[in-house]
Structure 1
Amino acid sequence: MTNINCTKVFSFSPLTSESSFSRSSANKLLRRRLYLVEKVRDANTLALVVGTVGVEGHREAIERTRELCKNAAKKLYVLSVGKVNVAKLSNFATDIDAFILLSCPFGVMLDTSDYYRPIVSLFEAEIALNPSKEWAAAAGWTAEFGCFLSDSIGTPSGDDADMSLITGKLRSRHSGQCEQRNHQSDMMLYTAGDYFIDRSWKGLDDSCTSDQEVIKICEGRSGIASSYAYEPINK
């Protein structure tokens, strides 16, 4: 994908002295990356997954991502989960709209079909969140986040809105925590309870009163599922 003009790949085996041409799948992969860029623009909550701390400039990359999300009025969480897999990121899938993976060039994940939320590289997050950046598939793609760490970060002009290419709805750039009334910004009260209104599971219920009967701890089953200790043995 780093060289979009290369449409065919020539391979040669010195062991068998056989050669062959194969068509590059770069165009298909780049179309997928453009789709993920739109998903990041539609997202309200993002998570930066720190996949490595051994790459030069990783601290600067974290701070830059925080500034990009702040300017784009998006909530950002920074996660460090070790080696990334489906099970780990699935724990955050209900709260996170898209993941940004901070890794070396060899750690960029191109096939994320098994994950419940989109996973993008820092380059794609830069394109999605930085108003001063424009990118087309023909311009190529890079996995080196050090190439743009020193670039300027644009500022959204006013309450400009654009249309999402995925949902077809208008996408506003201003934060949802302020409401415009008579050309004045009024802060809207937001409580923690508002966050749990639409959630199917809100945690353990601690509203038990003294009038309700409390179930005491009792001994559970022992053995294996095919033959518990209290079940009769079939001879």
Structure 2
Amino acid sequence: MSSELSAPPILSTPAEHTFTEDPTPSSAISQAKRPHRPDHELYEVYEIARTAAEIRQNGWKRIALQFPDAMLPDAPWVVSALSAELGKWQTEVQDQSQRLYILADTSYSACCVDEIAAEHANADGVVHYGRACLSPTSRLPVIHIFTKQTLDYDDVAEAFEKEFPEKADKVVLMADVMFQEHVGPISKLLKERGYTSLMATEILRDPTGAIPNRKLVTPDTSIDLNEYHLFHISTPPTSLLLTLSSRLASLRIYSTPSSPYTTTSAPPDPSATPGLLRRRYALVIRFATASIIGILVNTLSVKNYMSTISTLKSQIAAAGKKSYTIVVGKLNAAKLANFAEVDGWVVVGCWESGLVEQEGLWKPVITPFELGLALQGDESRVWTGEWWGGIEGVKASPVTDENDEKLSEQEVPEEVEGGVDDEESEPPEFDLRTGKLVSHSRPMRVAIRSAPRSGPEIEVAGLSSNQGTTSSAITKRAVGDVALVNGVASPGAEFLRSQRTWRGLGTDFDTENDDEEESTVVEEGRSGVARGYTVGQDQLRA
């Protein structure tokens, strides 16, 4: 039975409710309503003295201060206290004082350093507050202030003893970076209580380590982590939870009230991680039959993200699939739904933001590690339970040109007797979820096989004209072939031509007609950031 609307849907907030109701649910709003803390306590929490000393040592004049949402209410106080501390170092030799800028709405994930917003202020460096993924930056230096958090050692020890009653249990003690300074004292306390196989951890800026950004405090280098349990102080993000669960025997969590990942009264259940990993593997199986893959850029700050994009392009092309690189800023379902032709997304981000929750998303979103599994054949794909969420560890492609865009060279299959080549004789491919036959999972191999033999010569590697004489209009193609744009196979253009009912304003050109319409010449526009654009040789100020 179809339901009828009694009134038109509300598409905007009525003016009379603009300042009385906030329809946006945010954990930061509830976290901001916390008791007032005295100045001397905040001075220690935000390490004002150390921050000012490092800024002076680095010689920074313009400093960007990046806060997570939960710490934004303290941002004005931090600016005031830090300005006063920096004023103590001012001398007559200095020609100007430091200027501080608050970075509030981050461009991507709050755990990453927001170099994009910092460049808008022409900052010399960034002070990043709170929890961090510690991914290497690409352009600006950074000072990490994890903030000092209090912890009841006796309560932690009691919780540890409840989880591990046997004193000989092999346990690794780890904490969130906001509580890492307490790991040493707690480890000493537990060893005094009789634990003989306890190992502490220290911060090491290496996301690719066996334990991301940590090293074990032990002289023994031949330790098998699979034999050890992990006791983690503060709730970890889901990406770290999955990573640690796949590398250690078990994981126990001691919840803290100041954890940015505590959204409920109870900490997440580590025993549920096998189910989460199985759901990730289900996405891999769903992704295996995707023909058009979107490379979703979720960071512009993590070092080597550009080379990772190039490598992913090469891997996707070698599998006979088509890729498109998309940058949309902070991710949400509405943005990704605009690209209906994309069958699935692979995220280029840090090891935390690479994991995107699937709730509300129409197409699967996976990590580069999962993409490597998805591109393997059914006969060679093996799920070992290992998992990783970042771009680190992606193997570089051996074939790239100076623009990092050239695809791996492929040969056009030779025609054999009977008109059947090796590609066509391959076994049919089925979607393991639905059991249906998939005939278009490798559109680029179809494009290579059906490339025109006459007219302008087509390069097989890039599927682009080497004479530059092909038309910019979409080429009419036979049934089963993929449309070409400027001699390049474009499944996206084919989707636009055949499946989209609305093609945007000013797209009345009918590709089925014989008359070809001249396309508008693309002109280079403004470039730069909002504080100052560049147009040719001229400088414009916003």
TM-score over 0.5 for the alignment? yes
Instruction: Tell me how far 1:164 sits from its aligned partner.
Output: 2.6
Counterpart of 1:73 in structure 2 is 320
The equivalent position to 1:201 in structure 2, one of 480, 502, 512, is 502
* C-alpha distance 165-202 of structure 1, shift in aligned 2 (>3 A): same
- Which amino acid is the alignment partner of residue 10 of structure 1? R
SS class of match (1:139): coil
TM-score normalized by structure 1?
A: 0.67
Counterpart of 1:63 in structure 2 is 310
Gaps of 5+ in 1: 208-235
Whether the aligned pair in 1 keeps the contact of 2:348 and 2:367 (CA below 8 Å) is yes
Count of residues in correspondence between the two structures: 196
Instruction: Tell me how far 1:103 sits from its aligned partner.
Output: 0.4
SS class of match (1:100): strand
TM-score normalized by structure 2?
A: 0.32
Instruction: Tell me how far 1:134 sits from its aligned partner.
Output: 3.4
Whether the aligned pair in 2 keeps the contact of 1:38 and 1:128 (CA below 8 Å) is yes
Tell which deviates more after alignment, 186-195 or 118-127: 186-195
Instruction: Report the Cα distance in structure 2 between the residues aligned to 1:5 and 1:51, rounded to whole angstroms.
Output: 26
Counterpart of 1:49 in structure 2 is 296
Whether the aligned pair in 1 keeps the contact of 2:308 and 2:396 (CA below 8 Å) is no
The equivalent position to 1:169 in structure 2, one of 415, 428, 436, is 436
Q: Does 1:29 find its partner at 2:276?
A: yes
Instruction: Tell me how far 1:14 sits from its aligned partner.
Output: 8.5
Whether the aligned pair in 2 keeps the contact of 1:48 and 1:76 (CA below 8 Å) is yes
Instruction: Tell me how far 1:40 sits from its aligned partner.
Output: 1.9
Tell which deviates more after alignment, 139-148 or 99-108: 139-148
Tell which deviates more after alignment, 192-201 or 54-63: 192-201
Whether the aligned pair in 2 keeps the contact of 1:126 and 1:133 (CA below 8 Å) is no
The equivalent position to 2:375 in structure 1, one of 111, 129, 137, is 129
| 1:1-235 matches, cutoff 5 A | 1-2=242-243, 3-4=245-246, 9-12=251-254, 22-92=269-339, 94-130=340-376, 134-136=381-383, 138-150=384-396, 158-159=422-423, 160-161=426-427, 162-171=429-438, 173=442, 175-177=445-447, 189=478, 190=483, 195-204=496-505, 206=508
Instruction: Report the Cα distance in structure 2 between the residues aligned to 1:27 and 1:151, rounded to whole angstroms.
Output: 32
* C-alpha distance 145-91 of structure 1, shift in aligned 2 (>3 A): same
Instruction: Report the Cα distance in structure 2 between the residues aligned to 1:117 and 1:21, rounded to whole angstroms.
Output: 26
Counterpart of 1:211 in structure 2 is none
SS class of match (1:31): helix
SS class of match (2:499): coil
SS class of match (2:382): coil
Instruction: Tell me how far 1:22 sits from its aligned partner.
Output: 4.3
Indicate the structure with greater strand content.
Answer: 1
Instruction: Report the Cα distance in structure 1 between the residues aligned to 2:386 and 2:508, rounded to whole angstroms.
Output: 55
SS class of match (1:64): helix
SS class of match (1:104): coil
SS class of match (2:293): strand
What per-residue deviation string (whole Å, max 9, x for no partner) do you get for residues 61-100 of structure 1? 11111111111121111111222222222221x1211111
Whether the aligned pair in 2 keeps the contact of 1:37 and 1:124 (CA below 8 Å) is yes
Instruction: Report the Cα distance in structure 1 between the residues aligned to 2:268 and 2:358, rounded to whole angstroms.
Output: 27
Instruction: Report the Cα distance in structure 2 between the residues aligned to 1:114 and 1:21, rounded to whole angstroms.
Output: 21
* C-alpha distance 176-140 of structure 1, shift in aligned 2 (>3 A): same
Q: CA RMSD in A?
A: 3.7
SS class of match (2:288): helix
% identical equivalent positions: 25
Instruction: Report the Cα distance in structure 2 between the residues aligned to 1:114 and 1:169, rounded to whole angstroms.
Output: 25
Instruction: Tell me how far 1:7 sits from its aligned partner.
Output: 7.1
Instruction: Tell me how far 1:176 sits from its aligned partner.
Output: 2.7
Gaps of 5+ in 2: 1-241, 258-266, 400-407, 414-421, 454-476, 485-492, 510-542
Instruction: Report the Cα distance in structure 2 between the residues aligned to 1:145 and 1:193, rounded to whole angstroms.
Output: 31
* C-alpha distance 195-177 of structure 1, shift in aligned 2 (>3 A): farther
Whether the aligned pair in 1 keeps the contact of 2:308 and 2:394 (CA below 8 Å) is no
SS class of match (1:135): coil
